[in-house]
Structure 1
Amino acid sequence: MEPEEQSAKTSGAAPLSSYVESWTPGPVTDEDPLPLGPVAALSAVLDLPGTVAKNGDPLPPLWHWLYFLNWPTQGKLGPDGHPRDGHFLPPIPQRQRMWAGGRCEIREPLRLGEPAERVSSLGALTAKQGRTGELLFVTERREFRQRGRVCLVEEQDSVYRSGRSAGQHPGVLDELALPDTDAPWQLPVHPDPALLFRFSALTANAHRIHYDAPYCRDEEGYPGLLVHGPLLALLMLELPRRRAPDRRVRALSYRLHKPVFGGEHLAACGTPAGEGAELRVATHREERHATAEVTFG
C-alpha cells in the first residue's frame, strides 16, 4: 500500500531517525534443505494440484518465500500477531510496518532438495517526510547460495511509522464485482478467508490482519481481512510462469500500492513487453493495487 496515503499520529513525537541512529544489526546466516512439502502445499493453495515437484526441480520465482521461515515463540508476538522484536525490526515504539516492494535478481534458480544458505543484511535505512508524517524506509538484502554459488539476490523494502494510522478505505466491500480488464494475460482469483489462512500458515505469518476480521475492523480500521502483499506478488509472477513457460525470469521488481481485501475478486494481469513483461493486480475498485516488471533471460 502507499504509505504516503496514510495519516500518522506522530506530532510532537521524536523523529523516527533518532531511534535508529546507532542501530546497526549485523548480517545473519540461515540454512534450509528446501524440502518438497512447501511447494506441494502452495500448489494446492493456488489450485495446481497436478503439479508434482521432485528433488532437483527449480523453484519458481519468489517461491523461496516458503523457506527460511522464522517462528518466534508465542510470548514474543505483539497484540497484532507481528513479532515485537527481531534482528532487522527497527527499535521504533508502537511501530506499524508496511511491505512496500522489492527486487530480485535470479542468476540461477534454487533447486529443490539441495541445502541452501541465506545471508541477510541491512541494505539501506532512510527517513523521509511523507505528506502526513515521517516514514522510515528499511531495505533488507538477502543472498541465497547453493553449492557455494550465489543463485539469487533479493532486496525487500519495508516502510515503518510510529503509532497507528487512519487510512482511507472503502466502508463497504462489493464482493460480487469483477475486475474489468482486457490484458492479454489474466489470472482471476477469489481470495476467501480459507485461502488467506492457508497462505499465512505457509509463510509463518501470524499478523491478525489476514485472519481476524473483528480485529481488522475494530483495531486497524479496515473493512475486512487484508490480502497478503507477498501473495499479490506471487500471483503476478504466476502469469509469466504459466503463459511463457519456456522463458526464464532473470530479474523482477514489484511494488504494492493499495490493499486488496478478502472476498474481493481480483485479477493478476500481464502484458508482454520486449524482453520482459509488465504485470499488475486489479479489482473493480483499482487498476493497480500492485505492479511488477520482469526481465527474461
Structure 2
Amino acid sequence: MPPSDSASDGFAVLEETARTWRPDDVRTTDPLDPAPAAALSAVLDLPAPAAADGEPLPPLWHWLYFLSWPRRSALGADGHPRDSGFLPPLPQRRRMFAGGRLEVAAPLTAGRPAQQHSRVSRVVPKRGRSGNLLFVTVRSEYRQSGRLCLTEEQDLVYRSGGAPPVPPAAALDTESRPSAGTSPWQQEWRTDPALLFRFSALTANAHRIHYDTPYTTGVEGYPGLVVHGPLLVLAMLELVRREQPDRPVRTLSYRLNKPAFCEERLLACGGPEPGGGPDDTVRLRIASHREDAHAGADVGFA
C-alpha cells in the first residue's frame, strides 16, 4: 500500500531537517564535584560512595555532570526544552533514547575539572513500522588535563506528531518475577516512584514520563511511570562492578529495546559468554516477566 499524503509530507519534513539542521557544537567545563556521585550511590542503595575526591568515576557516571538547567518557561508540555541544543526542530516532537557506545581511554577522576565537547555527528530519517522517525547521534569527547579520557556516542530517536509511542495497556503486573535463566550473574531489582524522581533530579531530566503518573498514562499512553533508559544501563553496569571490580571497562555498547515500568520486578543478568576466555566481552540484559531484554549491553575490558 503506498504511503498516505500526510505520511509522505511528514517524511519530507524529516528529510529536510536531516539536510539542513546543523546545531552548533557545545563545549562545557565541570569541576566534577564528588557530591553527585555520593548522591547517586545513596539513590542506588550502594554500601559506600562510588567515587570520592581523587577517585575514578564508574563508567557512565559522567551522566551526573555537564548538565543543562533551562528556565522553567523554556520547557515544553512534556518537560523537555521546547527549542535548544541538540533537539531537532520538529512539530509535536517525541523523544526516545535508543542506545549508545562508550570508549574509555582513562576514567574521569572526581574532584578535577573536566571538559566536554559535544556535537551532532549524524542525522538520518527512517520509515519505521510505527511511523516516520529521525535518528540523531550525538558524539561527545571528555578531557582532563588536556588528555582525552572518554569518547561517547548517544543514539536518540525523534517522532514528529502522531499517536503516543505505545498503546494504552492494562494495569501493570508488579508481582510476577522474571525468569532467572542460566545467567551466571543475577541481581533482582525493583524501582519505585522515589527512585525515579531522585534519579531525574540528579540528571536534570524533567521528562514527565518518569515522575508524573497522570501525564504518563493519560497523554503518553504508557501504563505507568517509565524507568529511565540510563538507569537501566547503570543497573547493568553495577553487575560488572560487583562481579569483576578490578577489571577496567574499556568499551561499552548498549541498546534500549522496550520500556520498563515503575515497580515491575526486574532482573539485571548476564556474564561472560559460555566458553569464552578472560578477555571476552561480557553480555548483559534487563529482563522482566514480559520481556527477555528491555535493555542489553556488551562490555569489553582492558
TM range (shorter): over 0.9
**Could you tell me which amino acid in structure 2 is paired with residue 269 of structure 1?**
C
The whole-number CA distance in structure 2 between the counterparts of 1:259 and 1:28 is 29
- Larger CA deviation: 121-130 vs 43-52: 43-52
1:288 is the counterpart of 2:293: yes
In structure 1, what is the equivalent of residue 26 of structure 2?
Answer: 28
User: Which of 85, 88, 109 is matched with 2:86 structurally?
Assistant: 88
What are the equivalent positions in structure 2 for 1:112-191 lying under 5 Å apart?
112-166=110-164, 167-168=166-167, 170-182=169-181, 183-191=183-191
What are the equivalent positions in structure 2 for 1:250-289 lying under 5 Å apart?
250-273=250-273, 274=276, 275-289=280-294
With normalisation by structure 2, the TM-score equals 0.92
Kindly provide the CA deviation profile for residues 28-71 of structure 1, in whole angstroms up to 9, marking residues without a partner as x: 11000000111111101111142363221111011100000110
Kindly provide the CA deviation profile for residues 223-246 of structure 1, in whole angstroms up to 9, marking residues without a partner as x: 110000000011111111111011
* Conserved? CA contact 1:10–1:163, under 8 Å: no
**Could you tell me which amino acid in structure 2 is paired with residue 207 of structure 1?**
H
RMSD: 1.4
Deviation at residue 10 of structure 1 after TM alignment: 4.4
Q: Number of residues paired by the alignment?
A: 289
Consecutive unaligned residues in structure 1, runs of 5 or more = 1-8
With normalisation by structure 1, the TM-score equals 0.94
How has the CA–CA distance of structure 1 residues 169 and 11 changed in structure 2, closer, same or farther, with 3 Å as cutoff? farther
- Larger CA deviation: 178-187 vs 210-219: 178-187
In structure 2, what is the equivalent of residue 68 of structure 1?
Answer: 66
The whole-number CA distance in structure 1 between the counterparts of 2:113 and 2:238 is 25
* Conserved? CA contact 1:114–1:146, under 8 Å: yes
The whole-number CA distance in structure 2 between the counterparts of 1:218 and 1:134 is 23
Deviation at residue 132 of structure 1 after TM alignment: 2.9
The whole-number CA distance in structure 2 between the counterparts of 1:226 and 1:244 is 29
Runs of 4+ in 1 over 6 A off after TM superposition: none
How has the CA–CA distance of structure 1 residues 11 and 126 changed in structure 2, closer, same or farther, with 3 Å as cutoff? closer
In structure 1, what is the equivalent of residue 208 of structure 2?
Answer: 208
The whole-number CA distance in structure 2 between the counterparts of 1:281 and 1:134 is 27
Deviation at residue 12 of structure 1 after TM alignment: 4.5
Deviation at residue 94 of structure 1 after TM alignment: 0.9
Consecutive unaligned residues in structure 2, runs of 5 or more = 1-5
The whole-number CA distance in structure 2 between the counterparts of 1:120 and 1:53 is 24
How has the CA–CA distance of structure 1 residues 285 and 52 changed in structure 2, closer, same or farther, with 3 Å as cutoff? closer
Q: Secondary structure of the residue that 1:58 maps to in structure 2?
A: coil
Deviation at residue 11 of structure 1 after TM alignment: 6.1
Q: Secondary structure of the residue that 2:219 maps to in structure 1?
A: helix
Identity of aligned residues (%): 58
**Could you tell me which amino acid in structure 1 is paired with residue 151 of structure 2?**
V
